[in-house]
Amino acid sequence: MKKFVLILIFLPLLRNASISSEIDSAYVYNTYNTIAKRLIMQSMNDSTAWETLAFFCDTFGPRFSGSKELNDALFWAKYALERDSFVNVRLEKVMVPNWKRNTEEAYITYPRNKRINISAFGGSVGTNGIYIEAPVIVVNSFDELKEKSQLVKGKIVVYNFPYKGYGNGVQFRFWGAVRAAELGAVASLMRSISPIGFHKTHTGMTQYVDTINKIPHAAISMEDAALLQRLQDRGVVPKIKMMLNCETREDTISYNLVAEYQGRTLPNEYVAMGGHSDSWDNTPGAHDDASGCIAPWFAIKAMMELGYRPARTLRLVWWVNEENGVRGGKSYAEEHKHEKHRVVFEFDSGVFEPTAIGISGDDKMVAILKGIEPLIKEISPLFEVRKGGGGVDIGPSMKNGIPGMSLSTKGNDEYFWYHHSSSDTPEKVDPLLLNKCIAVIAVATYIYADLPDFISTH
């Protein structure tokens, strides 16, 4: 009798050990084939996701950290998620930066008068309520700035760096004011980081160093930067007059939005998934990152509607303040560091053809999840599962040792047509591609949250 009891006790352990040793991509495909196909069908046939994204962007508009519009959007979303039967829906307080753009103007005053579009970079200082006017010096690189260092004092530096990918251009936005101020410039401007022009300006975050004089720093259009370059190349020294009334106020209250779909058997283990709720103050941010909030919401909603509940809890998180401080990501990582997270997932790549799910950490997990590739390839032939996932919002949690996962899309340079500009509006988002992204997120996160506990978790 005792021997029989021991066999009964150890039989589940032996079964789990067998699963642990044999689980592979084929196991994932065979086990989740039907569920995945139904999740894909459910997501692809849903017309409400794009409508919700459009409503969200149209109703609340730009949702900059520190704004009433952002907090109004978060309170609306809390109500909507409760209506959709999410549980433990809550707003977790986060103190966020409170920078205000206010008004801004700029003109070329020599050799002719021309008003130019200008967008101060987030965190920029203003001009103290007055116009400043100064000669311009145009450079294409920090090396050229250094070479012309004797000509910079008292001038407005314009960085006319041709678009060679976002990563190459962002250095001038981030450090341009510091480098120019070191040499005595009174202000700095830069060509917007975008492969196309149409007189649009693209904003973003800048950085100062307390030991170096802080000067105004802003974006101008591709066309105006090119005009200034041509004038200089002809031996003309252009002049610009500008006024920025931006200011930094005391930090203010906003929130991370959290909602859960509780796990079937392991409700205290979490797959946290979402995007950032804030946008820049000049855009409703349809691609960046309303889509990153809406798509994970509707991925979980597809599971709910089909009655599929994974073993672990899926926790939807809308991180706040990604654009100018990452306060939401840092706050979440600290507040939830003692909870057991299986993975943190972020979608912040824009709504284009899904090309990859990236996963950091365990190589074995990457190999196992390759089992979803043939399922997703039916709707996105280029799709793959690959090593390496992450994002700005989930970065602080990943530093705590939690694996990161992210969705990559085929937007490439097209994403930067809209990025951080007034053009990032709902009609730029293809409803079919949004549904594809939702389908991929639903399949990947459901399977990840449901797999047997064959690897160590955080």
Output the CA–CA distances (angstroms, integers) from residue 321 to 68, 252, 279, 349, 451, in the order listed: 14, 11, 8, 17, 32
pLDDT tens for 42-81 read 999 999 999 999 999 999 999 999 999 999 999 999 999 9
Question: HSE of 170 in the Cβ direction (CA atoms, 13 Å)?
Answer: 9
pLDDT tens for 439-454 read 999 999 999 999 997 5
**How far apart are alpha carbons 190 and 179 in whole angstroms?**
13
Phi/psi at 339 (5° precision): -85, 160
Residues 285-297 have a mean pLDDT of 98
Name residue 85's amino acid: S
Tokens of 95: 């103190």
Least confident of 28-32, 112-116, 282-286: 28-32
pLDDT tens for 336-348 read 999 999 999 999 9
| 27-30, long-range: CB < 8 A, 24+ apart | 27/368, 27/371, 28/368, 28/369, 28/370, 28/371, 28/372, 28/447, 28/451, 29/371, 29/372, 29/374, 29/375
pLDDT tens for 255-284 read 999 999 999 999 999 999 999 999 999 999
Could you tell me the domains of the chain? 24-99+250-450 (3.40.630.10), 103-245 (3.50.30.30)
* Known active-site residue 104: no
Output the CA–CA distances (angstroms, integers) from residue 241 to 127, 188, 211, 296, 300, in the order listed: 11, 12, 26, 46, 52
Helix (H) / strand (E) containing 442: helix 431-450
Least confident of 55-59, 163-167, 229-233, 255-259: 163-167
Residue 361: pLDDT band by 50, 70, 90 thresholds?
Answer: confident
Residue 24: pLDDT band by 50, 70, 90 thresholds?
Answer: confident
CA of residue 58 relative to chain centroid, distance: 19
pLDDT at 1: 41
Residues 87-105 have a mean pLDDT of 98
Q: Which one has a higher pLDDT value, 25 or 87?
A: 87
Instruction: Tell which residue, 225, 106, 121, has the closest CA to residue 163.
Output: 225
Name residues whose C-beta falls within 8 Å of residue 28's C-beta, 6 or more positions apart in sequence: 368, 369, 370, 371, 372, 447, 451
User: Tokens 């962002």 correspond to what residue?
Assistant: 170
pLDDT at 17: 35
pLDDT at 365: 87
Name the active-site residue from 69, 322, 323, 353: 322
pLDDT at 18: 37
Residue 22: pLDDT band by 50, 70, 90 thresholds?
Answer: low
| 236-239, long-range: CB < 8 A, 24+ apart | 236/110, 236/111, 237/110, 237/135, 237/136, 237/137, 238/108, 238/110, 238/111, 238/135, 238/136, 239/108, 239/109, 239/110, 239/133, 239/134, 239/135, 239/136
- 15 by Cβ neighbours in 10 Å (0-12 / 13-18 / 19+) ranks as exposed
